[in-house]
């Protein structure tokens, strides 16, 4: 079933048949090097016990590869013309569900239908792992990755093609320009790595930036140790809102329930000096800071 061909002329011809033109707002850039789709699937290690979510079915080239390996594939496509092409490519497959709508209900929440479909397929046949495997549209990559780490269904792994700059932010180390709230949020729960950098020439239409295949593998023990995931996410975003501020100032401005003496006591307890900045803290230090802040807020209520 896997498509062996996805040249520019092939795509143009298929799109003309259904009256479709790539829409920049939706980040519709199609991989024309199918070896990279094969690499994406291999790295994701999709197997017969996996339920896979693909966001952006496109012409169905990646979907077809996933269907050959997974227990079930839920693929989401916002564009009705592309959904039509994908369904043609997937004709005859009985382990795929195509949901034709936006995967996001709003910036911070997934579509109820997508989540319900995933939950249904997860329950159908015993113990199943859920994996996200997708050539993600640039415009929604950040909220998709962020939201899945605080969701009723959380992927065991996310193997995705995204903007290289976003990938660098995800895997960044402390004291680097790319290190920020997204780095801490992902690395607090996952092992993350850039698998391959991708030049604009492997896509059509060509994006103006480089891309990367990035994999994030969930560490369940690390995740379960974070009490109040939503609170931690908000905390980290608040701390990095003004990244050049001293940490003390960031805590005072973002944690309204804490007094200045409270903040000074927390920093002293954790061995953080008055000139410490958020970008200097490791993920483990940020977690320790959050748990200390959260416990003090609880005792104050």
Q: Cα(259)–Cα(256) distance, rounded to whole angstroms?
A: 8
Tell me 173's DSSP state: P
Q: Would the CATH topology of 8-224 be identical to that of 229-300?
A: no
Q: What's the pLDDT score for residue 102?
A: 95
pLDDT band at 5; cut points 50, 70, 90: low
Question: Model-level pTM?
Answer: 0.93
d(CA 96, CA 25): 27
Kindly provide the b/e burial profile for residues 265-277, where b requires at least 16 CB atoms within 10 angstroms of the residue's own CB: ebbeeeebeeebb
Tens-digit pLDDT profile for residues 20-37? 877 666 667 888 898 999
Kindly report the CATH number that applies to the domain delimited by 229-300. 1.10.8.100
CA dist., res. 210 & res. 37, Å (int): 16
- pLDDT above 70 coverage of the chain, percent: 95
The pLDDT tens digits for 41-83 are 999 999 999 999 999 999 999 999 999 999 999 999 999 999 9
The pLDDT assigned to 15 comes to 83
What residues does each domain of the chain span?
Answer: 8-224, 229-300
The predicted structure's pLDDT at residue 2: 53
| Higher pLDDT, residue 5 or 180 | 180
pLDDT at 1: 52
Summarised one tens digit per residue, pLDDT across range 134-177 is: 999 998 999 999 999 999 999 999 999 999 999 999 999 999 99
Q: Report the CATH number of the 8-224 domain.
A: 3.40.50.150
Q: What is the pLDDT of residue 23?
A: 67
Rounded to 5 degrees, φ, ψ at 155 are -65, 145
Kindly tell me if the per-residue pLDDT of 279 is higher than 70: yes
Higher-confidence residue: 10 or 181? 181
Per-residue pLDDT, averaged over 291-298, amounts to: 88
Mean pLDDT of the residues in the chain:
92
Q: What is the DSSP string of 51-82?
A: EEEEE--TTSHHHHHHHTTSSEEEEE-S-HHH
Q: What is the per-residue pLDDT across 169-228, written as a single tens digit (0 to 9) for each?
A: 999 999 999 999 999 999 999 999 999 999 999 998 899 999 999 999 999 999 999 989
Question: Model confidence over 75-123: pLDDT tens digits?
Answer: 999 999 999 999 999 999 999 999 999 999 999 999 999 999 999 999 8
């Amino acid at each position: 079933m896997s498509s062996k061909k996805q040249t520019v002329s092939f795509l143009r011809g298929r799109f003309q048949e259904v009256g479709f033109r790539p829409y920049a707002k939706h980040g519709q850039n199609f991989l024309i090097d199918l070896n990279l789709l094969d690499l994406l699937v291999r790295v994701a290690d999709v197997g017969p016990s996996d339920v896979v979510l693909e966001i952006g079915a496109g012409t169905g080239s990646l979907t077809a590869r996933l269907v050959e390996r997974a227990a079930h594939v839920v693929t989401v496509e916002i564009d009705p013309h592309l959904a039509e092409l994908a369904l043609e490519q997937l004709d005859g497959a009985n382990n795929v569900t195509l949901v034709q709508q936006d995967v996001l209900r709003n910036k911070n929440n997934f579509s109820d239908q997508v989540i319900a479909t995933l939950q249904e397929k997860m329950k159908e046949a015993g113990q199943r792992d859920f994996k996200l495997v997708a050539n993600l549209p640039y415009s929604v990559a950040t909220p998709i990755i962020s939201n899945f780490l605080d969701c009723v269904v959380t992927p065991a792994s996310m193997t995705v093609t995204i903007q290289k700059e976003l990938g660098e932010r995800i895997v960044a180390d402390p004291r680097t320009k790319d290190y920020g709230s997204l780095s801490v949020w992902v690395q607090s729960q996952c092992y993350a790595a850039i698998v391959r950098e991708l030049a604009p020439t492997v896509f059509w239409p060509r994006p103006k930036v480089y891309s990367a295949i990035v994999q994030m593998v969930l560490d369940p023990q690390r995740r379960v140790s974070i009490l109040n995931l939503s609170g931690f996410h908000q905390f980290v975003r608040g701390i990095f809102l003004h990244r050049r501020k001293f940490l003390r100032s960031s805590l005072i401005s973002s944690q309204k329930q804490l007094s200045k003496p409270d903040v000074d006591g927390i920093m002293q307890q954790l061995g953080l000096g008055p000139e410490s900045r958020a970008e200097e803290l490791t993920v483990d230090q940020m977690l320790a800071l959050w748990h200390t802040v959260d416990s003090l807020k609880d005792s104050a209520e």
